[in-house]
A and B are shown apart, each in its own frame.
Chain A
Amino acid sequence: MATMNVVQAIHDTLAEEMRRDDRVVVLGEDVGARGGVFRVTHGFLDEFGTDRVIDTPLDECLIAGVAIGLALDDMRPVAEIQFADFIMPAFNQIVSEAARIRYRSNGDFGVPMVIRAPWGGGVHGALYHSQSVEALFAHIPGLKVIVPSTPEDAKGMLIQAIEDADPVMYFEHKKTYRLIKGEVPEERYTTPFGKAAVRRTGGDLTVVSYGLLHHYCLEAAERLASDGIEVEVIDLRSIYPLDIETVLESVGKTNKVMIAYEDNKFLGVGAEVAALIAERALFELDGPIVRVGGPHVPAMPFAPTLEHWFLPDVDRLEQEMRKLAEF
């Protein structure tokens, strides 16, 4: 097994899939000559040529719409939206078209397409380079929404996304790109969607999260462990399909649950997870369902003081966990 960071895992996996299947093409802004602003497609143009590595015009609606067309003609497009924040012009193509094509054609057509986009904050990206958009898309039947947080999952879930018969929104937390390193098996494997990962076991408290905050939660859990509080930490990995069973099983054991996410708290992923727990495990609970999420301001501001105010850090997560454990 090789140790690598998240961006390397995505780069290597995508290149390997392109070598394996001629139908896989990448398209987006700066994916060719520049190799992607985060270098995910570095070297692709030289290896695969302009037919399969397509520098598109600066038009996100075009990127999504053309990717749909490619998929309808049995290609396997992997489109890159440079920042998740810029996906809004593509919203109609993704929501009204990609997500509905199978349903509206009664199963006659399908859109085997992957849209990759870097999301999340903590990188001084301010309002338009920090957003969380997973809840917007998870609300839409017909889409799968994936948020891998480790290099190993980044590989397995990207292969799964490319193999999937339906459109997959594959969101990469940009702060994890180079921060998070891990071992990645060398053989080809898929990581199934809709299966959460229990990364740390514990009997006192369940913490559900994904993306960058998942790593912060793991760190906070270690601090609590030194005081004898054992936290079970779950990485959702996949927002839709959502693995609520793993969460409920854990809550049945710990009887306390906190959900941490950096999206706006209101109607974010945590709202659905909390609702499902309330519907199905209310009498297992020994305390309120706690949600730690972003305040209701449009997005993460730029100044370090303001960014810190918006994005929960390890200290704050630790405090919230401690408070719930003591409830």
Chain B
Amino acid sequence: MGKGKDRHTELGLKEEDLIEMYRYMLLARFCDERQWALNRQGKAPFVVPVSGHEAAQVGSAWAFERGKDVFCPYYRDLALVLIAGFSPKDVFLGLFGKAEDPSSGGRQMPAHWGARDRNIITGSSPIATQCLHAAGIALAKKIKKEDAVVGTWFGEGGTSEGDWHGAMNMAGIHKLPLVFVCENNMYAISVHESKQVAGRVYKRAEGYDMPGFEGDGNDVLDSYRLTKDAVDRARAGEGSSLIELRTYRFYSHTSDDDDRTYRPREEVEEARRNDPIPRFEEYLRSVGVLDDGIVDEMREKTKTEVAEGAKTAQEADFPDPSTAKLHVYADLEVE
């Protein structure tokens, strides 16, 4: 085994967990790179990038129990929904707006995730609305005495919305089994954190009678540790927590944005030097979980999986216009 300091055993993570977490980070990154390539080729009209957020998303999502807990993500959570049960093919079906897109059957823009069978609650474009749905679902779990925890994810911009404050308030009052995870990348499109947040996000927890923590969102183990503790507290009936994971997005807000108008290149380059994927890889090598052979094999396999998913999705059918009036109501036809 390697000679680096073991940080994962005390967190209850086994080698299989670590390899899976690393694999999901790669999968998200390669999906992102592929969707940008497709965008540049004119084959994907709109891309919401995830790159830079992989550690925060994989670390926090790993703390939840799939099949039981509930995910209320926001649009940047590509890595998170992969863990919750999306395949790369599912991601690209959404990217192209194909009929089999599990989120919406091609009705919503890409990255508006949702799938009932994976406990991913459907999301919209207005910011932080999902936080109140998460509070309602957590309240339902509490009323029904179900052993499930709800997680909701958002950026620091989302913490300006009334919906977010309402959700925090409701969660604090009722000690809901709900974990708030802020992926703070310092920019809401172009608006810097200093113009967005008075004080600090995690400190707002105190005002809502719950614990708040900040962590290194570029460190998957730190992201996992803080979120796991919060999930454990929620499951034990001790109520909600707010976790602020500080990270950075490497690309523009979306493919329709140009971050050169508001972010200095040096800042982006500096952030890329702190890329969460090589950081985790370095750790895994240091504790002997990964070596060149395994890394090469995993990268190759993951890239192939992404390429195949994208290809299959690209060949899939678009929705038929005759279906566009379905599902407005359960029991009414519309004109």
**Interface: B198 (CB within 8 A):** no
B292 is an interface residue with CB less than 8 A from chain A: no
Smallest beta-carbon distance A196→chain B, Å: 16
Contact indicator per residue, chain A 90-106, by CB within 8 Å of chain B (1) or not (0): 00110011001111111
> Do B143 and A25 touch (CB < 8 A)?
yes
A185: Cβ under 8 A from any B Cβ = no
- Indicate if B242 sits at the interface (CB-CB under 8 A): no
Residue A233 lies at the interface, judged by CB distance under 8 Å to chain B: no
Known contacts A62-B170, A65-B163, A96-B126; decide if A103 and B136 are in contact (CB<8 Å): no
A75 contacts which chain B residues (CB < 8 A)? 140, 143
Is B185 in the interface zone, CB < 8 Å from A?
A: no
User: Which residues 74-121 of B have a CB within 8 angstroms of A?
Assistant: 101-105, 107-108, 112, 114-116, 121
**Does A197 sit within 8 A of B, measured CB to CB?**
no
**Residues of B close to A64: CB separation below 8 A:** 132
- B7-15, B55-63, B245-253, B321-329: which lies at the interface: B321-329
Closest chain B residue to A71 by CB distance?
A: B136
Nearest residue (CB) in B for A56 is: B170
Answer yes or no: B134 CB below 8 A from chain A CBs.
yes
Complex CA–CA separation, A71 to B133 (angstroms)? 9
The answer to the question of A166 belonging to the interface, with a C-beta cut-off of 8 Å to chain B, is yes
Q: Which of A52, A77, A110, A141 contacts B330 (CB 8 A)?
A: A110
Give which listed residue, B122, B126, B162, B169, contacts A109 with CB less than 8 A. Answer: B122
**CB interface residues, A 133-147, toward B, < 8 Å:** 141-142, 144
How would residues 155 to 184 of chain B score, 1 for a CB under 8 Å from any chain A CB and 0 otherwise? 000000011001101100100000000000
Given contacts A54-B139, A73-B137, 12 further A-B contacts (CB under 8 A): A61-B132, A62-B132, A68-B133, A69-B133, A69-B139, A93-B129, A101-B122, A104-B108, A105-B116, A106-B105, A164-B330, A166-B329
Do the beta carbons of A72 and B133 come within 8 Å of each other? yes
A65 to B127, CA, bound (A): 13
Task: Name the residue in B107, B114, B132 with the highest tally of chain A Cβ atoms < 10 Å from its Cβ.
Answer: B132
Looking at A77, A108, A165, the one whose CB has the most chain B CB atoms below 10 A away is A108
The verdict on A57 contacting chain B, using a C-beta distance below 8 Å, is: yes
B141 interface residue, CB < 8 Å from A? yes
Write the nearest CB–CB distance from A184 to chain B, whole angstroms. 26
30 A–B contacts, CB within 8 A, in A order: A52-B143, A56-B170, A57-B166, A59-B166, A61-B162, A65-B131, A65-B132, A65-B133, A65-B136, A66-B136, A66-B139, A68-B132, A69-B136, A71-B136, A73-B141, A74-B140, A92-B126, A92-B163, A97-B124, A101-B122, A102-B330, A104-B122, A105-B327, A106-B101, A106-B107, A141-B328, A142-B328, A164-B330, A164-B331, A166-B329
Contact between B143 and A59, CB atoms less than 8 A apart: no
Segment 301-335 of B: residues with Cβ below 8 Å from A: 326-332, 334
Determine whether B234 belongs to the interface, using a CB cutoff of 8 Å to chain A. no
CA distance A92 to B328 in the complex (A): 18
Q: Is A40 an interface residue (CB 8 A)?
A: no
B297 vs chain A, min Cβ distance (A): 36
Question: Are A105 and B104 touching (Cβ within 8 A)?
Answer: yes
Residues in A neighbouring B334, C-beta threshold 8 A: 141
Cβ–Cβ < 8 Å partners of A93 in chain B: 129, 132, 163
> Which of B101, B125, B137 is the one whose CB lies under 8 Å from A72?
B137
Tell me the nearest residue of chain B to A100, going by C-beta: B124
A165 neighbours in B (Cβ, 8 Å)? 329-331
CB-defined contacts of B329 to chain A, threshold 8 Å: 102, 142, 144, 165-166
A57–B173 CA distance with the chains assembled, in angstroms:
9
Instruction: Name which residue of chain A comes closest to B100, CB basis.
Output: A106
Q: Please tell me if B138 contacts chain A, counting CB pairs below 8 Å.
A: yes
CA distance A102 to B104 in the complex (A): 9
| Chain A: minimal CB distance from B74 (Å) | 14
A61 and B163 contact, CB distance less than 8 A: yes
The answer, yes or no, to whether A43 is at the interface (CB within 8 Å) is no
CA distance A25 to B122 in the complex (A): 23
B121 close to A96 (CB less than 8 A):
no
Q: What interface size band does chain B fall in? A: 35 or more
Residues of B within 8 A of A213 (CB): none
Do B138 and A69 touch across chains, with their CB atoms under 8 A apart?
yes
Q: Which chain B residues lie closer than 8 Å to A166 at the CB level?
A: 329-331
Which A residue's beta carbon lies closest to that of B112? A104
CB atoms of A97 and B129 under 8 A apart: yes
Nearest CB in chain B: distance from A90 CB, A: 10
Q: Is the CB–CB distance between B327 and A89 below 8 Å?
A: no
Known A106-B104, A106-B327, A241-B332: A51·B135 in contact at CB below 8 Å:
no
Asked whether, in the complex, the Cβ of A103 is within 8 Å of the Cβ of B327, the reply is yes
CA A93 to CA B162, docked complex, whole Å: 11
Our pick among B112, B114, B122, B167 for the contact of A62 (Cβ within 8 Å) is B167
A194–B121 Cα distance when bound, in Å, is 31
List of A residues within 8 angstroms of B162 by Cβ = 59, 61, 89
CA distance A70 to B126 in the complex (A): 20
- Nearest to A67 among chain B residues (CB) is B136
A66 touches B170 (CB 8 A): yes
B256-313 with Cβ < 8 A to chain A: none
Q: Report B183 CB to chain A, min CB distance, Å.
A: 21
Query: Are the C-beta atoms of A66 and B328 separated by less than 8 Å?
Result: no
Asked whether any CB of chain B lies closer than 8 Å to the CB of A107, the reply is yes
A 27-41 binary contact with B (CB < 8 Å = 1; else 0)? 000000000000000
A65 near B166 with CB under 8 A, answer yes
Q: Which residues of A contact B104 (CB under 8 A)?
A: 104-106
